[in-house]
Amino acid sequence: MLTRKQLELLELINSRMQAEGVPPSFDEMKDALNLRSKSGIHRLITALEERGFIRRLPHRARAIEVIRMPEALDGRFTPTVIEGGAAAEPDPGKAPHQPSGALPLRAAQTMELPVMGRIAAGTPIEAISEVSHTVAVPGSMLSGRGEHYALEVKGDSMIDAGINDGDIVVIREQTTADNGDIVVALVEGQEATLKRYRRQHGMVALEAANPAYETRLLPEGQVQVQGRLVGLIRSY
């Protein structure tokens, strides 16, 4: 939901407000974010205000109120974001892969991951079955040992977790999840969706990060975890 610079500015304003009770000046913001002019700060503040994270109080100097912080900063998930990230064209000589054919983690600066089609952050869609293309990601984004793959996000149900329509999410392939993890969930063997996972008393709740969407509550046997979110790639 926020670009890297927008998030940096929001964190700066929030930390200064908590420490000193007043936001930093525009000059301080400009220097902290390594921007050349204050016009860039104006644009970032306007974007934060339009998205409902801050409010500017009229007729008062340096009067900025932080209304809320992204859900992604609540400690449960902090996405690793790459700006840009154009994907490579599909190799016609390679056969489509299932998620189980994801590339193994290697000790390298970057590696190519298969993009296994689209994943619904909204109403569930058909399960992912084929590689549409590949994308290069830094090795630092990949979480621990194991295999990883990528998916293109379709829908807006996870926007309050910083995941937008059209983003590429990096998934570590696994079949288990802790409460609060954002996972790829296969519902009844047919529908794949990206949601926050919670399990209790034999039931699984698949929670959206957008108040416009209701939580889906399903018997545990109807939900199969296919992977956990470990990174995010955003194109502009």
Q: How confident is the model at residue 218 (pLDDT cuts 50, 70, 90)?
A: very high
Residue 27 has pLDDT above 80, yes or no: yes
The residue whose two tokens read 């525009």 is 26
Catalytic-residue membership of 195? yes
CB crowding 112-150: b at 16 or more within 10 Å, else e? ebbbbbbbbbbebbebbeebbbbbebeeebbbeeebbbb
pLDDT at 66 over 80: yes
Candidates 39, 132, 140, 195; catalytic one: 195
Q: What is the pLDDT of residues 131-144, one digit of tens each?
A: 667 777 766 666 56
pLDDT band at 100 (very low <50, low <70, confident <90, very high): very low
Q: What percentage of the chain exceeds 90 in pLDDT?
A: 13
The answer to whether residue 154 is catalytic is no
In angstroms, the CA 101 to CA 95 distance is 11
Could you tell me where the DSSP H helices lie in 96-233?
none
The conformation of residue 20, written as its DSSP 8-state character, comes to: H
> Residue 57 to residues 23, 49, 65, 140: CA-CA distances in angstroms?
12, 11, 7, 41
Count CB-CB contacts under 10 A for residue 99.
22
Distance, in Å, from the CA atom of 89 to the CA atom of 92, rounded to the nearest integer, reads 9
Mean pLDDT, residues 141-154 taken together: 76
**Contact by Cβ (8 Å): 43, 62:** no
The residue with greater pLDDT, 176 or 64, is 176
Q: Tell me which amino acid residue 170 is.
A: V
Identify the pLDDT of residue 132: 60
Q: Where are the beta strands (DSSP E) in 77-141?
A: 81-83, 103-104, 110-120, 125-126, 133-138
Domains recognised in the chain with CATH numbers: 4-69 (1.10.10.10), 81-86+94-234 (2.10.109.10)
Q: Which residue in 108, 172, 173, 104 sits closest to 138, CA to CA? A: 108
Q: How far is CA 43 from CA 5, 37, 47, 78, in A?
A: 11, 11, 6, 24
Average pLDDT, the chain: 75
d(CA 117, CA 179): 26
Q: Which one from 30, 39, 143, 157 is the annotated catalytic residue?
A: 157
Distance CA 84, CA 135 (A): 11
- Which is more confidently placed, 16 or 108? 16
Its pTM stands at 0.53
Once rounded to an integer, what is the mean pLDDT over residues 157-185?
88
pLDDT top residue among 131 and 19: 19
Q: Which region among 13-22, 92-101, 169-178 has the lowest average model confidence (pLDDT)? A: 92-101
Helix (H, G, I), strand (E, B) or coil at 227: strand
Higher pLDDT, 13 or 233: 13
Most confident of 139-143, 159-163, 189-193: 159-163
